[in-house]
């Protein structure tokens, strides 16, 4: 049956109802969502004003890491034993020390190839003590100065005189307070480091703003067994790497510690420390110092 309309007026009324109702709803929802979108945009904008992608929200004393940097060492013992800090190998067996030199290859790869760190290539700057990097640029790490602690030389593991690398944990905006006066050094500092700093002040005064490092046998027997220790390229972390401000491409400075003639066949307990006035050494909290053992069969 065809729908019939009583008259023309009724027909017009029905048509106007079915057209204007959806239009009103459409206008209402458009306005409603428009206002919502505007509110979200305003909140987002206000939130983003408080954030800088390069600056962490919590820094220094407000941060959980605190203001006391930790010290770390590489190569790390295999991950299947996280508690172990023992570097153990047979000097003459390549298969035996390979895991340590491989671990170092992997750790140092970013230092050898700037392209592995985003932004490093274009931001790299040839820093020196009297030439700190401009804002946003990062210092080069001279890996050739690590010799004999180089990949080509198997980090000297094959000669039973292994190299261990030290690294200070990054803390945003932390500024070291240097021991840059040899007449004002702490009691607890090892005598050979005091002597080194004294020499440095006489001959290379401009390098005094350095975070010094020391590595020693822990007990008297260890001190005897550890033998002579060399630090490359210098005995500390140069001050021009600080403060760390999350510039794109930044890599921490490293100190290569070369154990030149450690006694073989015995475990040697070694403790390394970083020295600045605002570094407190606390072995339990694992800050300012690091402990590991060496055993070369
Ligand atoms: C490094 O180790 C490999 C394998 O043992 C050896 O062939 C090479 O001669 C070593 N490098 C040096 C500089 O002795
Ligand atoms: C020595 O270190 C202090 C604190 O880190 C610094 O303020 C001062 O300028 C440094 N002295 C020299 C001669 O660089």
Q: Where are the domains of the chain?
A: 20-51, 69-296
Distances (CA, A) of 136 to 49, 72, 118, 139, 244: 21, 26, 13, 10, 10
Which is the closest atom of ligand 1 to the Cα of 152?
13
- The ligand that comes nearest to the alpha carbon of residue 179 is 2
The pLDDT tens digits of the residues spanning 53-64 come to: 666 665 555 554
* Model confidence at 184: pLDDT above 60: yes
Q: Which CATH number describes the domain made up of 69-296?
A: 2.60.40.1660
Query: pTM of the prediction?
Result: 0.80
- State whether the beta carbon of 209 lies less than 6 angstroms from ligand 1: no
* Model confidence at 92: pLDDT above 80: no
Task: Select the more confidently predicted residue: 26 or 109.
Answer: 109
Atom 11 of ligand 2, residue of closest alpha carbon: 180
Distance CA(99)–CA(78), nearest Å, equals 8
- State whether the beta carbon of 177 lies less than 6 angstroms from ligand 2: yes
The pLDDT tens digits of the residues spanning 108-164 come to: 999 999 888 988 888 999 999 999 999 999 999 988 899 999 999 999 999 899 999
């Amino acid at each position: 049956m065809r729908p019939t309309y009583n008259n023309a007026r009724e027909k017009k009324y029905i048509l106007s109802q079915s057209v204007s109702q959806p239009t009103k709803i459409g206008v209402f929802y458009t306005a409603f969502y428009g206002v919502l979108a505007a509110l979200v945009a305003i909140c987002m904008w206000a939130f983003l004003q408080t954030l800088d992608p390069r600056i962490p929200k919590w820094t220094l004393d407000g941060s959980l890491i605190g203001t006391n940097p930790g010290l770390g060492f590489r190569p790390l013992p295999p991950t299947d034993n996280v508690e172990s800090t023992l570097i153990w190998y047979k000097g003459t067996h390549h298969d035996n020390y390979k895991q340590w030199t491989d671990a170092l290859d992997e750790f140092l790869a970013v230092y050898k190839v700037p392209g592995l760190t985003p932004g490093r290539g274009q931001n790299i700057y040839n820093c020196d003590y009297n030439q700190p990097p401009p804002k946003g640029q990062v210092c080069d790490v001279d890996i050739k100065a690590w010799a004999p602690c180089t990949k080509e030389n198997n980090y000297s593991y094959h000669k039973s005189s292994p190299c261990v690398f030290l690294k200070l944990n990054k803390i945003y905006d932390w500024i070291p307070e240097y021991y840059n006066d040899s007449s004002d050094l702490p009691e607890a500092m090892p005598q050979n480091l005091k002597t080194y700093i004294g020499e440095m002040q006489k001959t290379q005064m401009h390098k005094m703003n350095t975070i010094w490092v020391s590595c020693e046998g822990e007990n008297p027997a260890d001190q005897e067994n550890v033998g002579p220790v060399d630090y490359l390229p210098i005995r500390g972390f140069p001050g021009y790497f600080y403060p760390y401000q999350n510039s794109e491409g930044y890599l921490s400075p490293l100190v290569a510690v070369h154990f030149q003639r450690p006694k073989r066949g015995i475990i040697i307990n070694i403790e390394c420390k970083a020295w600045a006035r605002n570094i407190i050494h606390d072995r339990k909290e694992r800050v300012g110092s690091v402990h590991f053992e060496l055993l070369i069969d």
